[in-house]
Structure 1
Amino acid sequence: MTLEQLRYLVTLAEEGNFTRAAERVFLTQPALSVQIRRLEEELETRLFDRNKRPLEPTEIGRRVIAQARRVLEEAEKIKLMLGGGAELFQGLFRVGVIPTLAPYLLPRLLPQITRQWPQLKLSVREELTPSILQDLLEGRLDAGLIGTAEQMPGLERLPLFEERFIAYVACDHPLYSSPTLHPSEIPLEDTWILAEGHCFREQVLAVCRPGVARRRVEFQSGDLETLVHLVEEVGGITFLPEVALWTLPLPKWNHLRPLLPEVGRTVHLLLREGTLKRPVALALGEQVQAVFRSLPRGDRLG
């Protein structure tokens, strides 16, 4: 088993296709197939299910690929030791961001990063928290931005900032006349929420008063902006994290109501323990904090 074979293995897993993977590693497709087959023979196991399209790793293959990524990362550390670490802010850095953060932070965050580290190639994916956790553990991501305090072996979690949840209330709703809302006042049956799988959904459900009636229309969205439009056109209430206020036109701030007592979440940076790219991840976290400090805040509401 060689480092080159492990690199071929990881590339094939990322591409899911022998032809594209071969192009990336500058081999012919038959030559790459031979290398993967030799590795499987040495390990005495099948690493890929070749009947799937795109190509998928077997269960044992996923574990081997995750370990191969760690081995390649450790090998890269040796080069960096000799080079003084200057190469850390070059090459590819992969980040996963939950959907209730991505539309608000990224438009301001990405230009700052590309200006500060022009040699860094940033790959950003909008994903739900479970996918971010899995991709971090298996080496498909270098960092993640999430809104829950996940604690998993092998992952380091660093708090970045705390933000409040703000209610967005329709003009014809009885609570619209209240300058502030107590969470126990807000009925679940009046509240538009995100679809299952979003951590923000569970956080909102924990805030609302349990429902005793059902809505005439049941709808669950994966997008906060859709929920805002539903409040405006259909009625009811939804919730927004403070980061979402940046994109909200000022006339719509009339619909916002702070919660007392305050309810919110802590946004965390996740990275693999011992990762080679930890300095890059920490620098990213500092930029996220700076962006959050610059955004319109819910404290303007009182």
Structure 2
Amino acid sequence: MTIQQFRYIIALDEHRHFAKAADVCMVTQPGLTIQLKNMEEEIGIKIFDRTKVPLKPTLLGIEIIARARKVLREVDAIRDFVVNQKNDLEGEVTLGVITTLSPYLIPQFIKAMKDLVPKMHFNIIETGTGQLLEGLHTGTIDIALMATPTGISGLKEYPVFNEPFVAFLHSSHSMVAQEYYEMNEKDKPYLLLLQHEYCYNAQLLDICGLEQQRDKQLDQFSYDINSIETLKNLVRADLGFAIIPQLSILNEKDDSLFKPFKDPKPVREISLVVADTFSKKLLLEKMSKTIWNCLPENLKENFSYRKIQWNDSPYFIKATNSFK
């Protein structure tokens, strides 16, 4: 038995005529007749007495039709529930954001969302990619704002924007007077990475054409860097160079040391990521639009780019496998 068959027998009960019921159900009369016959054969009971004019349900048919109406009421209630869930803009949601994006976007996002969805409460967690994926898997995080694609089944990704990478050079760098930065072999040993940000580091190594971080002794110090701001200060101290996301230079007063790449620019895709069971679709639409509106105009323009992957990077696979 199917839901559609239930709709057919209810229409027949209401109109007591095959042609009228078929018209209401937007199906051919032979098609409706076949479906009724299939249902009666399946349950072994005649639902309608076809010898009567107008058509009349049998005694058992009356009970079956009544039960079918009850089932359809439940089906409609489920549909209404799902629609309400998708459009619900109340309650609490946990948003996880990658650390390399959160400081530069979330303050504007919070300010904009406060007025847009005043009945929603956001718990915002700033953490690394691995923790975001784990949180989505366990349910401790409802929505993640992160670099994609993840390549993980069971997750749905809703791309919001592409963020270019830019090079940050120290003042004595040989290319400081150039309009664009071009990778050279001499720079590769001096690339500064972020500790435990394996997704981000994998993207940087891809841009540089490296499979793993090269060892470089910088005097008697080694660096366990965990923030882009610390990384930028190390560059200013002439201790290496960095490739950083474009949003991280928005508040820089002197942009002469930040160099874009030539087209196609290397970018990371930033998406809202949820479990495939997440139901608040309208909320995702509102968040996506709000994030887009928070971006500077130059990120909204069309430009030639190449998307930098991370989940299939040898560096990423090796680094994350060591923790399994």
Q: Is the pair's TM-score, using the shorter chain for normalization, greater than 0.5?
A: yes
Look up the SS of the partner of 2:172 in the other structure: coil
Residue aligning to 2:259? 257
- Deviation of 1:293 (Å): 4.1
Q: Larger Rg: 1 or 2?
A: 2
Q: Does 1:91 align with 2:91?
A: yes
- Deviation of 1:279 (Å): 2.1
Look up the SS of the partner of 1:194 in the other structure: coil
Specify every segment of 5 or more residues in structure 1 that has no aligned partner in the other structure, as ranges. Answer: 1-76
Residue aligning to 2:292? 289
Residue aligning to 1:6? none
Q: Does 1:271 align with 2:293?
A: no
- Which stretch of the first structure deviates more once superposed, 100-109 or 196-205? 196-205
1:3-39, Cα deviation, whole Å (9 max, x unpaired): xxxxxxxxxxxxxxxxxxxxxxxxxxxxxxxxxxxxx
1:31-88, Cα deviation, whole Å (9 max, x unpaired): xxxxxxxxxxxxxxxxxxxxxxxxxxxxxxxxxxxxxxxxxxxxxx959729945972
Q: Does 1:193 align with 2:193?
A: yes
The 3 A distance-change label for structure 1 pair 134 and 78 is farther
- Deviation of 1:278 (Å): 2.7
Q: Equivalents in 2 of 1:114, 1:202: separation in Å?
A: 35
Q: Equivalents in 2 of 1:227, 1:200: separation in Å?
A: 13
Q: Equivalents in 2 of 1:168, 1:176: separation in Å?
A: 9
Q: Equivalents in 2 of 1:220, 1:90: separation in Å?
A: 41
Q: Does 1:225 align with 2:239?
A: no
The answer as to whether partners of 2:167 and 2:244 remain within 8 angstroms in 1 is yes
Q: Equivalents in 2 of 1:181, 1:103: separation in Å?
A: 25
Q: Equivalents in 2 of 1:202, 1:104: separation in Å?
A: 21
* One-letter identity of the residue aligned with 1:207: I
- Deviation of 1:176 (Å): 1.8
* One-letter identity of the residue aligned with 1:146: M
The answer as to whether partners of 2:86 and 2:282 remain within 8 angstroms in 1 is no
Q: Equivalents in 1 of 2:160, 2:239: separation in Å?
A: 34
The 3 A distance-change label for structure 1 pair 294 and 80 is farther
The answer as to whether partners of 2:93 and 2:122 remain within 8 angstroms in 1 is yes
Residue aligning to 2:238? 234
Q: Equivalents in 1 of 2:227, 2:135: separation in Å?
A: 22
Q: Equivalents in 1 of 2:143, 2:82: separation in Å?
A: 25
The answer as to whether partners of 1:160 and 1:289 remain within 8 angstroms in 2 is yes
* One-letter identity of the residue aligned with 1:136: L
1:66-118, Cα deviation, whole Å (9 max, x unpaired): xxxxxxxxxxx959729945972111011110001100110100011111111
The 3 A distance-change label for structure 1 pair 84 and 257 is closer
The 3 A distance-change label for structure 1 pair 212 and 98 is closer
Look up the SS of the partner of 2:259 in the other structure: strand
Q: In structure 1, which of residues 215, 218, 226 is the aligned counterpart of residue 217 of structure 2?
A: 215
Q: Does 1:105 align with 2:105?
A: yes
The answer as to whether partners of 1:163 and 1:265 remain within 8 angstroms in 2 is yes
Q: Superposition RMSD on alpha carbons, in Å?
A: 2.8
* One-letter identity of the residue aligned with 2:245: P
Residue aligning to 1:142? 142
The 3 A distance-change label for structure 1 pair 298 and 171 is farther
The answer as to whether partners of 1:166 and 1:241 remain within 8 angstroms in 2 is yes
- Deviation of 1:205 (Å): 1.5
- Which stretch of the first structure deviates more once superposed, 279-288 or 289-298? 289-298
- Which stretch of the first structure deviates more once superposed, 277-286 or 120-129? 277-286
The answer as to whether partners of 1:166 and 1:258 remain within 8 angstroms in 2 is yes
- Deviation of 1:175 (Å): 2.5
Residue aligning to 1:126? 126
1:151-195, Cα deviation, whole Å (9 max, x unpaired): 222210111111111000001122223321223456221222111
The answer as to whether partners of 1:165 and 1:263 remain within 8 angstroms in 2 is yes
> Taking every aligned residue pair, what percent have the same amino acid on both sides?
20
* One-letter identity of the residue aligned with 1:236: G
The 3 A distance-change label for structure 1 pair 219 and 295 is farther
The 3 A distance-change label for structure 1 pair 191 and 125 is same
Look up the SS of the partner of 2:130 in the other structure: helix
The 3 A distance-change label for structure 1 pair 115 and 203 is same
The answer as to whether partners of 1:146 and 1:269 remain within 8 angstroms in 2 is yes
- Deviation of 1:296 (Å): 7.5
Matches within 5 A, 1:143-182: 143-182=143-182
Q: Equivalents in 1 of 2:214, 2:105: separation in Å?
A: 37
Q: Equivalents in 2 of 1:138, 1:86: separation in Å?
A: 21
Q: How many residues align?
A: 221
Q: Equivalents in 1 of 2:273, 2:86: separation in Å?
A: 23
